[in-house]
Amino acid sequence: MMRKQIAAANWKMNLTLQQADQLIDELLDIPHDLKDYQEAVFGVPFPFLFNIKNKLAGKKNSFVAAQNCSDKNAGAYTGEVSAAMLKSIAVDYVIIGHSERREYFNESHATLADKINICFETGLKPIFCCGEPLAIREAETQNSFVETQLTESLFHLNAQQLTGFVIAYEPIWAIGTGKTASNEQAQEMHAHIRSIMAGQYGAVVADSISILYGGSVKANNAKAIFCQPDVDGGLIGGASLVATEFAAIINSLK
Ligand code: PGA
């Protein structure tokens, strides 16, 4: 069975409800064909999730993702959004540990592990993000840096939980910079991530994990990145805000 190939949009903190509606309507008007093992996922701001979910109703293999959730179940945490709230409006996925959350909101390995646990308890699918900053890449220590991110936040999980899991590798130096990792750099890190998971959980589990690449993926480079053997799609920021771009990226999945 082919593991899932996923084009995931990450709208970040952009758009109004009206603009979001317009974007999704435009996108749905552009023919994009999802095979049984392909998915389109829309990581949209909390206030738009319900609406976008409804707009995707009946569309094959099309899902919504929250961009974050609380590491607490419920209670006096003003301003937080719980996994149970997301589940109650039929959210499918949650992006966990995006580098912007790690950097600007001080999310630690342990916090991310808690968030992933809550996702599993609630029946939400995490998209776990990892990736190194420029200084680490320049020091050529990216492999151990990413390994630590995986071991610290995922290795308490069992093989069943990690079967069909989704990881996004996003080198921070490639996010929003217009500088993508080369196809070879992406493939090399994705193979490394898969081998780390294989070492802990075995080849069958590792082969079932979808590893998405993120960082300046556009319509004109998506196909070359996605066709690498260990790249199973992408997590797309800037280009997901343009309907024609994102539709072309969906159509670039292998
Ligand atoms: P980008 O963002 O496509 O704008 O580089 C990717 C991401 O941060 O998920």
Q: Is the CB of 43 under 6 A from ligand 1?
A: no
What per-residue confidence (pLDDT) applies to 1? 60
Task: State the pTM of this model.
Answer: 0.97
Contact by Cβ (8 Å): 180, 172: no
Residue among 170, 190, 192, 245 flagged as catalytic: 170
| Active-site annotation holds for 138 | no
CA distance from start to end of the chain = 14
Q: Is the CB of 235 under 6 A from ligand 1?
A: yes
What per-residue confidence (pLDDT) applies to 3? 96
Domains of the chain, each with CATH number or no CATH: 5-250 (3.20.20.70)
Q: Is the CB of 97 under 6 A from ligand 1?
A: no
Q: Which residue ranges in the chain fall short of pLDDT 70?
A: 1
In tens, the pLDDT along 156-193 reads 999 999 999 999 999 999 988 888 889 999 999 999 99
| Active-site annotation holds for 98 | yes
